[in-house]
Amino acid sequence: MELSPKLSAKFEKLQTGYPQKRSALIPMLMYAQDEFGYISDDMIAEIARRLDLNNVQVEETLAYYSMLRRKPMGKHHVQICTNVACMLKGGYEVLDRAKKRLEIGHKEITQDGVFSLEEVECIGACTGAPAMQVNYDFYENLTPLKFDRIIEDLDAGKHPKPEPVISGALHDRTFSRRRSSAAAGA
């Protein structure tokens, strides 16, 4: 498989940047996807060859991570979480809004190729539920209205600001210890 000089240079740097070559697998998959839009069978074979892995090892990793794709998606790949935390806080309402707004369903692409939509089980943003990921950016505490604003910005060529930290993850951890100590002394 012929790679662009830029991607080839990234791969070569990654292959020597880790104590074990295998550790470069996910970054290589992500760089390849960024360049081609998805991971093809030829790319799986190329990465496996470079990292001294077999194709199945690459495919297993590829299947595990929801941000990695085996087929082309839209320029803006929208993944909406509907796992327990997101479901309880309105994830299905956001997903329904996305389907109506984008006029596509799960794993479909808009006719212009700008957006694709995917319902996912978890994106690791439970404290900011409901949450979605657009390409590599996370958006949390969604409402259907907030979803609309993000999509409008993306459609206009703007980059809506992703969440700086997972909301709710920063809290006073000493409260529960003080409370436990007080309860133990009572």
Give the per-residue pLDDT at 91: 97
Identify which of 104, 106, 116 has the alpha carbon closest to the alpha carbon of residue 154: 116
Give every residue of the chain whose pLDDT is below 70, as ranges.
Answer: 163-186
Give the per-residue pLDDT at 180: 42
What is the sign, positive or negative, of the torsion defined by CA atoms of 152, 155, 157, 159?
positive
User: Alpha-carbon distance 171 to 17, whole Å?
Assistant: 36
pLDDT tens-place string over residues 88-119: 999 999 999 999 999 999 999 999 999 999 99
Alpha carbon of residue 142 to chain centroid? 16
User: pTM, whole model, 2 decimals?
Assistant: 0.71
Phi-psi domain of 107 (left: phi exceeds 0; alpha: psi -120 through 50; beta: other): left
User: Alpha-carbon distance 102 to 6, whole Å?
Assistant: 34
In eight-state DSSP terms, residue 73 is -
Length of the chain: 186
Residues of the chain with pLDDT > 90: what percent?
72
Q: What are the CB-based long-range contacts (under 8 Å, 24+) for 110-116?
A: 110/74, 113/74, 113/75, 114/74, 114/75, 114/76, 114/154, 114/155, 115/74, 115/75, 115/76, 115/77, 115/78, 115/151, 115/154, 115/155, 116/73, 116/74, 116/76, 116/77, 116/78
In eight-state DSSP terms, residue 161 is P
**∠ at Cα 116 (23, 149), nearest 5°?**
105
**What phi, psi does 117 have (nearest 5°)?**
-130, 140
Average pLDDT of every residue of the chain: 88
Tokens of 55: 């194709």
